[in-house]
């Protein structure tokens, strides 16, 4: 296993360029399979999830060219009967192959996904959506067998706001006969990004970014080029890291609007945040206020930054309560933060932080992607040495982590494997 050794205590200073959005990339790649021609996706983050997706597509017979920060995907040579298991367990978003293959071939045989262990992560809404479109869905010992003689548009109300179900239904409905209406749809920017790609391929999708999405099925889709939006979660992580280390960091290639809830919360804590057209400057302050944070679907505060902001709130004197309304068990970082001296307890869906204790370097383990980000931030704050194990989780979501942190003046190094990093990460 790989580790990150952090010699913390340096305020982060300088400029960091934010990569393309992971959660868009892992949906855009399967979406590209729907086209009857090559699709080029640009500004692709070079992270493990993207590399794994490229391997899965090749296994299915698609033509894939993956270079640096772009990928060309041609799904035409694909084998519709290919069963997929194994690699799909390495990432959560492999479930988008269900919708994409169902839309393309009328069938998908793809195993249940893996991804971070955040407590129960059901897929019932995806299944209900496919069934409403006329598909039969069977779970054959972990292999999802989804088949439809003909997909027909339907009105689908999502009982819960789900990013994954919204995108998956959109993928399947793009080539269905007639109109599909998704009500109570998720509104995340990544959904708009996927709809933009599909529309550029010739789909007819309206309302993405609102809670009602209308999809008029089309017969054919064509190849095109698409540039991925910036990763608001990577950006939020660096904003929080800049604040926690009392640094001064400018983030470039961001869409400040996508980060409104994060900016507002940081300002409430006492951080100085300045927004420009496509950059954000974050200046840390000596003293911070304890605040409460509640996660909710976009445009609310993202659950993916719940763990990182908890690390920041350990520095604010007083009691902060961080409640995760999306995932009930996304608190596996808490024990590790306690190991570093933080006074935090978990009560139900909330972390109750008694802030103001000095954090100490320690040996800690990243149990999931954003837990790793939280511990990395805590490590950057402490004056001693922090050994962060389980770095493979963090690599799933942060491009060139060590390179970017170095450029901001952090003392970090990776140990535990031959350096294969292109400026340190090369997951392809
Ligand atoms: C996506 C993001 C993830 C983020 C999450 C919430 C990707 C690849 N991942 O995950 O980073 O943390 O959104 O913003 O984009 N639910 C059900 N049944 C379902 C589907 C979801 O009960 O069929 C529940 C989930 O357990 C969760 C909530 O709905 O409590 C939201 O989940 P969802 O938005 O679907 O998360 P993901 O798309 O998996």
Instruction: Give catalytic residue positions.
Output: 116
Q: Are residues 14 and 100 in the same domain?
A: no
The pLDDT, as a whole number, for residue 82 is 76
Q: Are residues 328 and 201 in the same domain?
A: no
Q: Are residues 172 and 234 in the same domain?
A: no
245 and 13 Cβ atoms separated by less than 8 Å: no
Please identify, among 191, 208, 227, the residue that sits at the C-terminal boundary of a domain. Answer: 227
**Atom of ligand 1 minimally distant from the CA of 167:** 38
Q: Are residues 312 and 173 in the same domain?
A: no
Query: What residues contact 257, with CB distance under 8 A and at least 6 apart?
Result: none
Q: In a structure prediction context, what are the per-residue pLDDT tens digits for the chain, which is 428 residues long?
A: 789 999 999 999 999 999 999 999 999 999 999 999 999 999 999 998 899 999 999 999 999 999 989 999 999 999 877 777 778 878 889 999 999 999 999 999 988 887 656 566 789 999 999 999 999 999 988 889 999 999 999 999 999 999 999 999 999 999 999 999 999 999 999 999 999 999 999 999 999 999 999 999 999 999 999 999 999 999 999 999 999 999 999 999 999 999 999 999 999 999 999 999 999 999 999 999 999 999 999 999 999 999 999 999 999 999 999 999 999 889 999 999 999 999 999 999 999 999 998 999 999 999 999 999 999 999 999 989 999 999 999 988 999 999 999 999 999 999 986 444 433 432 22
Ligand 1: distance of its center to the CA of 94 in Å?
13
Ligand 1: distance of its center to the CA of 261 in Å?
19
**Atom of ligand 1 minimally distant from the CA of 128:** 23
C-beta 361 within 6 A of ligand 1? no
Q: Are residues 27 and 104 in the same domain?
A: yes
Residue 149 domain flag = yes
Ligand 1: distance of its center to the CA of 121 in Å?
7
**Atom of ligand 1 minimally distant from the CA of 127:** 23
C-beta 191 within 6 A of ligand 1? no
Residue 426 domain flag = no
Ligand 1: distance of its center to the CA of 308 in Å?
18
Residue 428 domain flag = no
Please identify, among 162, 196, 227, the residue that sits at the C-terminal boundary of a domain. Answer: 227
Q: Are residues 268 and 147 in the same domain?
A: no
Ligand 1, atom 4: closest residue by C-alpha: 304
The pLDDT, as a whole number, for residue 149 is 94
**Atom of ligand 1 minimally distant from the CA of 304:** 12
Ligand 1: distance of its center to the CA of 370 in Å?
14
| Count of domains observed in the chain | 2
Residue 260 domain flag = yes
C-beta 26 within 6 A of ligand 1? yes
Q: Are residues 197 and 331 in the same domain?
A: no
From 36, 37, 40, 79, select the one nearest 57 (Cα to Cα): 79
Query: What residues contact 123, with CB distance under 8 A and at least 6 apart?
Result: 95, 112, 113, 164, 165
**Atom of ligand 1 minimally distant from the CA of 298:** 14
251 and 384 Cβ atoms separated by less than 8 Å: no
Residue 259 domain flag = yes
Ligand 1, atom 27: closest residue by C-alpha: 326
Q: Pocket of ligand 1, candidates 294, 326, 349: which has the most ligand atoms within 8 Å of its Cβ, to mutate?
A: 326
The pLDDT, as a whole number, for residue 141 is 86
The pLDDT, as a whole number, for residue 416 is 87
176 and 152 Cβ atoms separated by less than 8 Å: yes
C-beta 415 within 6 A of ligand 1? no
C-beta 126 within 6 A of ligand 1? yes
C-beta 304 within 6 A of ligand 1? yes
Strand partners, 152: 177
Neighbour count for residue 216 (Cβ, 10 Å): 15
Residue 95 domain flag = yes
Ligand 1, atom 39: closest residue by C-alpha: 164
Cα angle value 128/134/138 (rounded, 5°) = 60
Determine the straight-line distance between the first and last CA of the chain, rounded to whole angstroms: 19
Query: What residues contact 140, with CB distance under 8 A and at least 6 apart?
Result: none
- 212: domain CATH number is 3.65.10.10
Q: Return the structure tokens found at 76.
A: 């035409």
Q: Are residues 157 and 275 in the same domain?
A: no
Q: Are residues 165 and 292 in the same domain?
A: no
Ligand 1: distance of its center to the CA of 66 in Å?
27
C-beta 123 within 6 A of ligand 1? yes
C-beta 327 within 6 A of ligand 1? yes
Q: Are residues 215 and 240 in the same domain?
A: no
Please identify, among 198, 227, 256, the residue that sits at the C-terminal boundary of a domain. Answer: 227
Q: Are residues 114 and 191 in the same domain?
A: yes
Q: Would you give the DSSP letter of residue 382?
A: S
Residue 427 domain flag = no
Ligand 1, atom 11: closest residue by C-alpha: 304
The pLDDT, as a whole number, for residue 115 is 60
**Atom of ligand 1 minimally distant from the CA of 27:** 8
Residue 313 domain flag = yes
DSSP string of 335-391, one letter each residue: HHHHHTT-EEEEETTEEEEEE-PPP---EEE--SHHHHHHHHHHHHHSSSEEEEE-H
Residue 210, domain extent: 22-227
Q: Return the structure tokens found at 301.
A: 């505060």
Q: Are residues 180 and 283 in the same domain?
A: no
C-beta 405 within 6 A of ligand 1? no
């Amino acid at each position: 296993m790989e580790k990150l050794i952090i010699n913390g205590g340096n305020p982060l200073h300088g400029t960091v360029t934010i990569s393309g959005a992971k959660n868009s990339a892992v949906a855009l790649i399967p979406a590209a399979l729907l086209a009857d021609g090559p699709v080029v996706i640009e500004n692709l983050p070079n992270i493990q999830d993207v590399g794994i997706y490229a391997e899965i597509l090749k296994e299915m017979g698609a033509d894939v060219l993956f270079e640096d920060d772009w990928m060309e995907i041609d799904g035409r040579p694909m084998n519709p009967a290919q069963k997929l298991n194994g690699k799909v367990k390495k990432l959560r978003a492999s479930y988008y192959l269900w919708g994409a293959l169902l839309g393309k071939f009328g069938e998908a045989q793809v195993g249940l996904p893996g991804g971070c262990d955040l407590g129960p992560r059901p897929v019932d809404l995806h299944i209900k959506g496919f069934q409403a479109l006329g598909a039969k869905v069977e779970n054959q010992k972990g292999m999802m067998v989804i088949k439809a003689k003909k997909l027909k548009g339907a009105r689908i109300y999502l009982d819960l706001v789900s990013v994954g179900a919204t995108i998956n239904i959109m993928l399947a409905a793009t080539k269905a006969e007639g109109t599909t209406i998704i009500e109570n749809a998720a509104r995340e920017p990544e959904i708009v990004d996927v709809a933009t790609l599909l529309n550029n391929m010739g789909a007819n999708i309206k309302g993405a970014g609102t809670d009602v999405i209308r999809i008029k099925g089309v017969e054919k889709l064509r190849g095109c080029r698409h540039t991925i939006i910036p990763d608001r979660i990577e950006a939020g992580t660096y904003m929080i890291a800049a604040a926690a280390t009392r640094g001064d960091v400018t983030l470039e290639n961001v869409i400040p609007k996508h980060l409104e809830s994060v900016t507002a919360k940081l300002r409430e804590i006492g951080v100085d945040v300045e927004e420009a057209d496509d950059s954000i400057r974050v200046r840390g302050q000596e003293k911070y206020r304890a605040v409460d944070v509640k996660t909710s679907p976009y445009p609310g505060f993202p659950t993916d930054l719940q763990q990182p902001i908890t690390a920041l709130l350990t520095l604010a004197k007083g009691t902060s309560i961080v409640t995760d309304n999306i995932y009930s068990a996304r608190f596996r970082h808490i024990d590790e933060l306690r190991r570093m001296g933080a006074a935090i307890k978990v009560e139900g869906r909330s972390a109750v932080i008694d802030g103001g204790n000095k954090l100490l370097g320690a040996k800690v383990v990243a149990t999931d992607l954003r837990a790793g980000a939280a511990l990395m931030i805590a490590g950057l704050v402490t004056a001693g040495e922090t050994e962060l194990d389980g770095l493979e989780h963090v690599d799933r979501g942060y491009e060139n982590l060590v390179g970017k942190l170095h450029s901001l003046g952090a003392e970090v190094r990776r140990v535990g494997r031959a350096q294969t990093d292109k400026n340190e990460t090369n997951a392809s």
